[in-house]
Structure 1
Amino acid sequence: MSAEPIPHSPGPWCPDPRRQQRADYTLEDLLNLPDDAPRVELVDGVVQVTPSPTLGHQDISFLLRLWLHSHAPRHLRAAQDVGVELTVNTSRRADVLLCRAGVPSGLSLISPADVVLAVEIVSPGTRRVDRFAKPGEYAAAGIQYYWRIEQDPVHVYAYRRGDRLGPGGERQYELVADSAELIELTEPFEIKLSVAEITP
């Protein structure tokens, strides 16, 4: 009696190089990725694997989400590491976000119309994207508020979508507050955040 050969796994999922060259991935493709797919974002039809965050990054993310969960009004909901549908071929994963409380829990991609605040925590591997690309994309998609958090030391930069237009005619963010000690804002709700509370 002979044993059946054991099927070998073809290896972990990775984007199709031809589709990457054509840049024709869509949000629908993202929703149908296999379970073994890595953490990815979709940028102009190209699937990009996102680097793993550091412990310090995750500590800040957790503490901020906890703070927002405890302080935001009931019609808003705090979440971590959730995808946001920016266009038909672009989605980003916000480190932390505030969305409308009525958004169904089963979603892995949220419409920008349901996002009130998107937050990115800057790491060495994400500096350019978090400081330039993501705020431009979030503002163009209509997300009203954006926070950028720098590490070492922890410093919060709070932005609001303003009337100034960018090169492509889209509205851009304008800085409304920044501090390594205390952030006080009236929008998107009454905020008095001691930066020490989100510092690991």
Structure 2
Amino acid sequence: MTDMSAEPIDPGARSWSPDPLRQRLANFTIEDVLALPDDAPRVELVDGVMVVVPSPSLGHQTIGNLLWAWLRQRCPDRLDVATAVGVAVTPNRTCEPDVLLYSAEVSRTHHFLMPHEVMLVVEVVSPGTRRRDRLEKPAVYAEAGIPNLWRVEQDPVHVYAYTLTNGVYKELANSADELVLDEPFPIRLPIREITP
């Protein structure tokens, strides 16, 4: 039998939360996000305010993970794919897409990518994130100049693909069966392959 021990828990210790005064002042920056303690929740920075990103459901995570694996197997060598990596849109604004496709030349030590390094962002829509995923984040990504955006709706899984044209996302295709696109590389994605 092995002896298992752990560090004692300080009963007065509190879980991390952003400084309320700085939240009111809206003066957090990406450096503050990078300096968060390990036990801090995932956050996005919205105009200097830290917004806690809710944990995704199992279905949401499964779709994101299946899509990550599908893209990873098929993307050209010049690109790579990631999850749980942020995009530093401005010094006081970050987003954490569910999946993103980026330049393979980027250092793997980065926690955040710059918009010009990102070719595609994917948002899987959940009940608690509908407004942000459908309206707010696309506007932010468009302003940052990210060339491609996919929105994945659940129940049933349906993918909407957009390309940035004159600063606005225009729909290229949408499908609940097979998504066929020429950019960011030639894609024929059977939707059943990313359906939990």
Q: TM-score range by the shorter chain?
A: over 0.9
Distance 1:7 1:56, change over 3 A: closer
Tell me which residue corresponds to 1:107.
110
Alignment correspondent of 1:149: 152
Please state if 1:140 is matched with 2:143. yes
**How far apart, in 2, do the equivalents of 1:143 and 1:30 lie?**
22
Aligned residue pairs: how many? Answer: 188
Q: Please identify runs of 4+ aligned residues in structure 1 that moved more than 2 A.
A: 6-10
Q: Distance in 1 between matches of 2:193 and 2:40?
A: 34
- Give the Cα separation in 2 of the matches to 1:9 and 1:186: 56
1:48-127 equivalences under 5 Å are 48-127=51-130
Which runs of no fewer than 5 residues in structure 1 stay unpaired?
Answer: 1-5, 164-170
Aligned counterparts of 2:62 and 2:92: Cα–Cα separation in 1: 31
CA distance in 2, matches of 1:8, 1:154: 45
Report the CA distance between 1:117 and its aligned residue: 0.2
Equivalent in the alignment of 1:188: 184
10, 13, 18: which one aligns with 2:13: 10
Alignment RMSD: 1.0
TM-score (norm 1): 0.92
TM-score (norm 2): 0.94
Q: How does 1:161-172 map to 2 (within 5 A)?
A: 161-163=164-166, 171-172=167-168
Shift of 1:26: 0.4
* Partner amino acid, structure 1, of 2:106: V
Percent identity of equivalent pairs: 53
Higher strand share: 1
How far the C-alpha of 1:7 sits from its partner, in A, is 5.3
> In the TM superposition, what is the alpha-carbon distance from 1:139 to its structure 2 partner?
0.8
How big is the shift at 1:65? 0.2
Structure 1 residues 160-179: Cα deviation after superposition (integer angstroms, max 9, x where no partner): 0012xxxxxxx110101000
1:168 corresponds to: none
